[in-house]
Amino acid sequence: MAEGLRRYLQHLEIERGLAANTVASYRRDLGRYLAFLTDRRGVRAPGEAVTEDVQEFLRHLSRPRAEGGRGLSARSAARAVVAVRGMHRFWTLEGIAAADPAEAVAPPRPGQRLPKALPVQTVSRILEAPDRQTPAGLRDAALLEFLYSTGARISEAIGVDRDDLSASTPPGQQHATGVVRLFGKGGRERIVPVGSYAREAVSAYLVRSRPLLAAHGRGTPALFLNARGGRLTRQGAWLVLKKAAERAQITQEVSPHTLRHSFATHLLEGGADIRVVQELLGHASLTTTQIYTKVTADTLREVFLSAHPRAV
């Protein structure tokens, strides 16, 4: 079955053009599935799996850890089942297996999870938290300003090279505007504006910090570098955000997507067209972006209930 998995992952990467991080998630979920089939169901070949095997795997994913299961949320279990269904469908189409045992197995339907955005004042505290007198602090400030200014995913931000940034002065305007080229899910490319605060922070980092960090490495086109002079990792970028939130004494929950969620919510609260926000976020579907309108409506409702004298 390992060969069947290898062929499917190759199909995802080469023929469907999925991003490396997405393929890695598929590899992890499907590796656990094949281990489950082998160790708990006695399945040794792709053609031996039956629908009951797939259904039992789904139950195993949702079963609490105390009872020997994985204890996954409905959302995580659904992601794994989607991967399993895709692999079995591929095996059937490629003649690796005669039948598709996962065709009738529907993934669990997760409840709608609203993105958590921070108030503008709280975001400002996070952005101002790094010590801009040190090389690492300048890098951290540039990264955080960049994330909030562009709405980029952390994986997109760390993938930016210096050449992906550009600045120009539009006709009739005195001030330069910046843009950056981002590569999102599935390798989709989009051009996003970069605000003045982020441009200034990145400029200070490029002049006063990046050369010092780069001296420890072997040379890389990456914009954001780690202490060894290499490209900053996702884990490293997440630690930058987490450390800034702790330094700013933020009590709200902070996640790798916090600044992205705040970016979208603040744009909509400021009157931005939802389709423009969709383009800026790189969402393939408008439905994905519309979830932020629910967040904005909830915020307005809370303000109304707390501030209007005859609301309750």
Alpha-carbon span 135 to 129, nearest angstrom: 14
Active site residue 70: no
Whose CA is closest to 89, among 68, 77, 74, 105?
Answer: 105
Catalytic residue from among 185, 208, 234, 242:
185
Active site residue 266: no
Catalytic residue from among 210, 231, 260, 261:
260
Question: Where does residue 259 fall: left (phi above 0), alpha (psi -120 to 50 degrees), or beta otherwise?
Answer: alpha
Active site residue 257: yes
Active site residue 292: yes
Place of tokens 């269904």: 85
Catalytic residue from among 8, 26, 148, 292:
292
Angle between helices 74-93 and 51-62 (to 10 degrees): 160
Catalytic residue from among 199, 231, 257, 266:
257
Whose CA is closest to 184, among 22, 69, 292?
Answer: 22
Active site residue 294: no
Active site residue 185: yes
Catalytic residue from among 139, 153, 210, 261:
153
Alpha-carbon span 211 to 139, nearest angstrom: 11
What is the CA angle 15-150-229, rounded to 5? Answer: 75
What is the CA angle 208-214-217, rounded to 5? Answer: 160
Known catalytic residues? 153, 185, 257, 260, 283, 292
